Amino acid sequence: MKESRVSQATIDDVAQRARVSISTVSRVLNNRDRVHPETRERILRAMRELQYQPSAMARGLANQRTHTLGFIIPTISDPFFIEIVRGVEDAASSAGYSLLVASQAQITEHPRYTQLLNQRRVDGVVLVAIEVQRRDIEAVLQSGIPIVLIQQDIGAGIPTFIADNYGGACQMTEHLLRCGHRRIAYISGSNHTPDNGERLRGVRDTLTAHGLRLPANRIAQGNYLRGSGYEAMMQLLKQTELPDAVFAANDQMASDALIALQENGLRVPDDVAVVGFDDVPLASYVTPALTTVHQPAYELGLQAAQCVLQALEKPMNTEHVVLPTHLVVRKSCGCP
């Protein structure tokens, strides 16, 4: 028993039923040229009766447009990235575009995503990247397919949308100092990622401006992921002096640091303050609720996608957009 796939109506079926040529059907389909009102009616009726839906592939082949956006993201499991996804989705779908998603941890090793592009499956690309080199996307640039980057600027005239990591880190550090904290420790995200670099720079610059320092033994290495904040905090606890406050490069690590402190019988924020970065939902559910820096993740995704969508219409004027971040004060910093 073969599958009894009910074959769908094609443009020929519609043309036949409406007693016109396929050219005219195509005209009403695309709303172009003049078509006699009566003819149009007849065609529309035929379409309805046959439940006609044009084949996306045939259209794509004919006019070299897929009406699909490629969306490449390191991992879909991170709540921070989820918001970006939502933004991209909203922008795409309200423009009638679909999303071809490729999540990819090791973007350099198996550039599965280049297929999306080279196989001409997508009209444009939004790439959320943490460690992209220019050569990784050389193929895309060559192909002339519009691409925009989120979260990492690799120059080369590629439009980029990033959050103000430096500014956010400065604000947070100022806040900690204002609360009276002096010995600030930093739990670092993955090294080499530009956002971590910017945040660290913000902390350092602010401390320096106040005549304070961030010595090497007060920086603990994490990797942004679950669990790494715990290990990093343990390292910090081995130091002779306890820090006044720990600034983790994201909320996940800050939350794990909370656990480490608690296990060691230290109270937050009384003994040590802890703050994070991102403002993911988790931040407000841990105890004490995390003071953190809010990132405009949804906006980042929305604007980046709108940017490629625009680039599809008219030549893209290179943009470099930095969206503001802002402080969210809750309990974990110990400030009134």
Partner DNA sequence: CTGAAAGCGCTTACAG
* Interacting residues with DNA (CB under 7 A): 7, 10-12, 19-24, 26-27, 29-30, 32-36, 38-40, 52-55, 58-59, 61-64
Rounded to a whole number of angstroms, the minimum distance from the CB of residue 247 to DNA is: 52
Q: Which does 320 bind (CB under 5 to 8 A by kind): a second copy, DNA, none?
A: none
Q: How far is CA 65 from CA 58, 68, 69, 137, in A?
A: 10, 8, 10, 21
Cβ neighbourhood burial of 116 (10 Å; 0-12, 13-18, 19+): buried
Question: Which listed option, a second copy, DNA, none, makes contact with residue 137 (CB within 5 to 8 Å by class)?
Answer: none
> Under the criterion CB under 8 A, does residue 93 sit at the interface with a second copy?
yes
Shortest distance, CB of residue 124 to DNA, whole angstroms? Answer: 18
Our finding on whether 299 is near a second copy (CB under 8 A) is: no
Does 77 bind a second copy (CB under 8 A)? Our answer is yes
Considering only 31, 32, 119, 192, the residue that binds a second copy (CB under 8 A) is 119
Phi, then psi, of 288 in degrees rounded to 5: -75, 155
The CB-of-34 to DNA minimum distance in angstroms stands at 2
Maximal CA-CA distance, the chain = 89
CB of 288 to a second copy, least distance (A): 9
Tell me, residue by residue from 30 to 59, as one string, x for binding to a second copy by CB under 8 A and - for no binding. Answer: ---------------------x-xxxxxx-
Compute CA 139 distance to the chain's CA centroid, rounded to the nearest angstrom: 21
Asked if 156 touches a second copy (CB under 8 A), the answer is no
Cβ of residue 144: shortest distance to a second copy, in angstroms?
3
Run of H or E including 187 = strand 184-188
Give the orientation angle of helix 11-18 with respect to helix 37-50, to 10 degrees.
130
The C-alpha angle with vertex 320 and arms to 251 and 124, in degrees rounded to 5, equals: 90
Does residue 1 touch a second copy according to CB under 8 A? yes
Site for a second copy in 7-26 (CB under 8 A): 8
The answer to whether 324 touches 164, Cβ cutoff 8 Å, is yes
**Residue 251 backbone dihedrals phi, psi, to 5 degrees:** -65, -35
List the one residue from 154, 234, 282, 335 that touches a second copy (CB under 8 A). 282
Which listed option, DNA, a second copy, none, makes contact with residue 264 (CB within 5 to 8 Å by class)? none
* Residue 20 or 311 having the CB closest to DNA: 20
Among 39, 118, 190, 239, binds a second copy (CB under 8 A): 118
Is residue 162 packed enough to be buried (19+ CB in 10 Å), middle (13-18) or exposed (0-12)?
Answer: buried
What is the DSSP code string of 280-326? -GGGGTSSSPPBEEE--HHHHHHHHHHHHHHHHHS-PPP-EEEE--E
Contact 328, 279 (CB under 8 A): yes
CA distances from 101 to 89, 124, 212 (A): 10, 12, 45
Closest residue by Cα to residue 128 from 110, 157, 107: 107
Residue 86 Cβ vs a second copy, minimum distance, rounded to whole Å: 6
Stretch that binds a second copy, among 38-46, 140-148, 153-161, 266-274 (CB under 8 A): 140-148
Q: How far is the CB of 113 from DNA (least distance, A)?
A: 19
Residue type, 213: R
**Binding positions for a second copy, rule: CB under 8 A:** 1-6, 8, 51, 53-58, 60-61, 66, 68, 76-77, 79, 82-83, 85-86, 89, 93, 98-103, 112, 115-116, 118-121, 139, 142-145, 226, 255, 259, 281-282, 285-287, 315
